[in-house]
Structure 1
């Protein structure tokens, strides 16, 4: 059978119920090192993959290879290969977007969902319609969709790694937007949103009034933390995640 899936490389620690942690741009599974350790010590099997185009995982050629539906499918295959579904899924940045869409499209695989500093996709669209400030904050994504120039600029700012595959996630977004909207469904499993109060990309209003899309959601705000709150406040994030997965 021919498939567009790629085999993700991942790190794993601990024994017990499965928890999958999904990183964002421009990082790798290493961003979760504090949380992996804490979850393992709490009695869980923490699995953190390098997502498609990142770290040690495959980096297929072409923009179409980085559409979110394919990446969601990669993660679904990873969960199925561990034979412990439904599991707990945690995501940050792009990894949070993958986690949201996984919970909507494959509810059989997700028992609980925790996301860091990325709202529900429908809430993002709602606030973009309402707020010029929110649209302005997301203009960097348009820049990242340009050919070649983003790679040059990010290198100048010291960002390392294979930048073109990472940036293809943004470039593919325009091509898959209609397909992604068809995946919008109400999420019935418990959801935890961790929110750094110094978040520079999304307005606080994007995590308000989520009842239409999420049945059971809790928001925990972390003072002094920005977008990368798992690094800004590692102990607090680990504590909140461990409490959530144990509940």
Structure 2
């Protein structure tokens, strides 16, 4: 029986496989009450919500943390197109239905953020509220037919490589990241955490750019000691998960970026009217947290309750600052 950072026993959590939306979806559950669905990002798993599951359960909620499509114990379809946003939102909707629930609050971090935002946009009948960490909301907008998002990202990077562009060609990032999974995972966690600034490795958070011609993993700084919020046991969990699944499933999410405008086009002019909460870290530049993007949500989300900026924190907010995230999340849920 394994104990996590928050003092709860892993054995107290319920692991379950749900056949939904044509695939197997692995999830971890805690508690009973109103449903809260937790969606992780890249490169993570349900385990990123280990600090939230018991707190939500203790507060009277039914908390369900998913292994998202392509990750952990969830299916990893072969086709790249199987990882487009419509299918992933379909997974979340199908989980709610499979649990015999009518409604849920959807919470997302990193790639789970757009999943949460657009789930709330597309299915307000199911998702009664939305809370997101680290990736601000971008409403659907008109995009010229000839505009290819991945091409635009590469051009905007100029003489540098942008990590989302680096992930596009199948096989390249897989070969790089899977050569030493422990190094890659620790590099990801450290590079965009608040610790990279605290330790004076960088003066500001990393924005995802690096020199062309270099492998991404070779440029990831590795700390001499693990960050205080990441134990050896935590790191071992992630390493074991990606030794089993590899990175291909998660990378395929990035390979569907060009499909986003078409998927979102029917919802141009539609508003998320449900209560919304946004939290982000001071040093998180990887998720698009420029001030103008964050503050624009006060206009685009009419029922945005709060924008919470956590000083000194980076991208992995629910792991770096679990107590603060839990406090804000419970406050938000209590107000619904």
TM > 0.5: yes
| Equivalent residue number for residue 84 of structure 2 | 67
CA pair 37-83 structure 1, distance change in 2 beyond 3 A: same
Counterpart mapping for 1:88-237 below 5 A: 88-122=105-139, 136=157, 139-155=162-178, 156=180, 157-159=183-185, 160=239, 161=242, 162-184=246-268, 185-201=270-286, 202=288, 203-217=290-304, 218-237=306-325
CA pair 24-222 structure 1, distance change in 2 beyond 3 A: same
Scaled by the length of structure 1, the TM-score of the pair is: 0.89
Task: Describe the superposition over 1:100-128 as per-residue Cα deviations: whole angstroms up to 9, x where unpaired.
Answer: 110111111111110001111238999x9
Tell me the CA shift for residue 144 of structure 1: 0.9
Preserved CA contact (<8 Å) 1:13 1:46:
yes
**What is the number of residues matched between the two proteins?**
239
CA pair 125-212 structure 1, distance change in 2 beyond 3 A: farther
Q: Distance in 2 between matches of 1:88 and 1:53?
A: 23
For residue 58 of structure 2, the aligned residue among 30, 35, 41 is 41
Task: Verify: 1:8 aligned to 2:31, yes or no.
Answer: no
Task: Verify: 1:81 aligned to 2:98, yes or no.
Answer: yes
Segments of 5+ residues of structure 1 without an aligned counterpart are none
Aligned Cα RMSD in Å? 2.4
CA pair 70-138 structure 1, distance change in 2 beyond 3 A: farther
| Equivalent residue number for residue 331 of structure 2 | 243
SS at match of 1:34: coil
Which region of structure 1 is more displaced relative to structure 2, 101-110 or 150-159? 150-159
Preserved CA contact (<8 Å) 2:140 2:265:
no
Structure with higher Rg: it is: 2
Tell me the CA shift for residue 45 of structure 1: 0.7
